[in-house]
Amino acid sequence: MSNEKDWETFKQRLFTKSSINLNDYKPTQMQRRITNLMTRHGATTYLAFFDMMERNSQLYKEFIDFLTINVTEFFRTPEKFDELEKKVIPDLLIKNKKLSIWSAGCSIGAEPYSIAMILNELTPGVKHRILATDLDTEILGKAKKGVYTMNELKNMPTPRLSKYFKQVDGTFQLNEDIKSRIEFGRHNLLLDKFESGFDLILCRNVVIYFTEEAKDALYRRFFASLKSGGVLFVGGTEAILNFRDIGFQSYMPFFYRKP
Ligand SMILES: C[S@@+](CC[C@H](N)C(=O)[O-])C[C@H]1O[C@@H](n2cnc3c(N)ncnc32)[C@H](O)[C@@H]1O
């Protein structure tokens, strides 16, 4: 199997091709996961696998999806967060002063904390409920700590960065007030019970490995968990084709509303 030199070259070539820096990931975990994927595709060295990806763009895409399983950013897809801030949340606030929001598949917390910042600015002093859940308990531990790298904060305008974070030894620590606004919990979207009464559910970049059947069942359960007038916000590659069958109305691209 591959050696350390191979691994270094693989990381360099991947960085040149994708700007993904594998040095930002835990090497043992990452090597184990990549080796599993390589074996599935019949490659015996990292470099042979890289050559396969150069020839096969589908395999390259699969590899990127595979890597990004926990990857997240504050205000991910900034233009969608802009719509959320300027249109979706203000519309929801017309009906309800206090919102109930669920970030499903929250990873390290960047998504629910982005929502908390928006609400803090739109409705200072109001206590909304923000539930944030993930399958991965390790990642939830990181979410609760609220310590981030610059890369995770790259979409954050400087005024927000200085308003909400303290820089300590090259990391960015989120302030306690924003941290206290999120209720984190472990929850498996494919197994566990769903709460109801949400005004807004975010489920973004979570379902890439789910089958079509599992996705359909999931979106139906989200529909049932929303209040009338509530909105489901999905990822930028996750448009729901049969949203009408489920009962949703189209609202804006990647936002679906329960009538
Ligand atoms: C790529 S991150 C997305 C984070 C954030 N929603 C975003 O868009 O930036 C995907 C997250 O979904 C979680 N996840 C995957 N399968 C899940 C499941 N069945 N139930 C709950 N969370 C799940 C993973 O643990 C991971 O943290």
Token digits for 157?
């305008």
How would you list the strands of the sheet with 100-104, edge to edge? 182-186, 129-134, 100-104, 198-203, 226-234, 255-257, 249-252
* Domain identity same for 118 and 140: yes
Q: How many residues does the chain have?
A: 259
* Domain identity same for 55 and 33: yes
Ligand 1 atom nearest 71 alpha carbon: 1
Residue whose tokens read 């960065």: 161
Q: What confidence score (pLDDT) does residue 227 get?
A: 98
Confirm or reject: Cβ of 136 under 6 Å from ligand 1: yes
Spacing, Cα 145 to ligand 1 middle (Å): 18
For residue 123, with 0-12 CB atoms within 10 Å meaning exposed, 13-18 middle and 19 or more buried, which class applies?
middle
Summarize pLDDT for 211-228 with one digit per residue, the tens: 788 889 999 999 999 999
Domain hosting residue 199, numbered range: 78-257
- Find the distance separating the first CA and the last CA of the chain, reported in whole Å: 56
Question: Are 199 and 230 in contact, with CB atoms under 8 Å apart?
Answer: yes
Q: What confidence score (pLDDT) does residue 2 get?
A: 54
* Domain identity same for 18 and 139: no
* Domain identity same for 176 and 90: yes
**The total number of structural domains that make up the chain:** 2
Nearest CA to ligand 1 atom 13: 105
Q: What confidence score (pLDDT) does residue 101 get?
A: 98
Q: Report the CATH number at residue 195.
A: 3.40.50.150
* Domain identity same for 60 and 104: no
Amino acid found at 77: T
Confirm or reject: Cβ of 189 under 6 Å from ligand 1: yes
* Domain identity same for 230 and 161: yes
* Domain identity same for 34 and 130: no
Cα Dmax for the chain: 60
Token digits for 75?
């205000």
CA distance 151 to 171: 10
51 HSE (CA, 13 A, CB side): 8
Apex CA 14: angle with CA 12 and CA 16, to 5°?
Answer: 70
Nearest CA to ligand 1 atom 7: 72
Summarize pLDDT for 78-119 with one digit per residue, the tens: 999 999 999 999 999 999 999 999 999 999 999 999 999 999
Confirm or reject: Cβ of 64 under 6 Å from ligand 1: no
Task: Pick the last residue of a domain from 70, 89, 121.
Answer: 70
Task: Pick the last residue of a domain from 51, 70, 89.
Answer: 70
* Domain identity same for 142 and 173: yes
Per-residue pLDDT of the chain (259 residues; tens, 9 = 90+): 457 889 999 999 998 988 777 776 667 778 888 898 888 889 999 999 999 999 999 888 788 767 767 788 999 999 999 999 999 999 999 999 999 999 999 999 999 999 999 999 999 999 999 999 998 887 899 999 999 988 888 888 889 999 999 999 889 999 999 999 999 999 988 889 999 999 999 999 988 667 788 889 999 999 999 999 999 999 988 999 999 999 999 999 999 999 9
DSSP string of 182-199? EEEEE--TTTSPPP--EE
* Domain identity same for 96 and 13: no
CA distance 226 to 168: 39
* Domain identity same for 56 and 128: no
* Domain identity same for 161 and 37: no
CA distance 161 to 153: 8
* Domain identity same for 129 and 151: yes
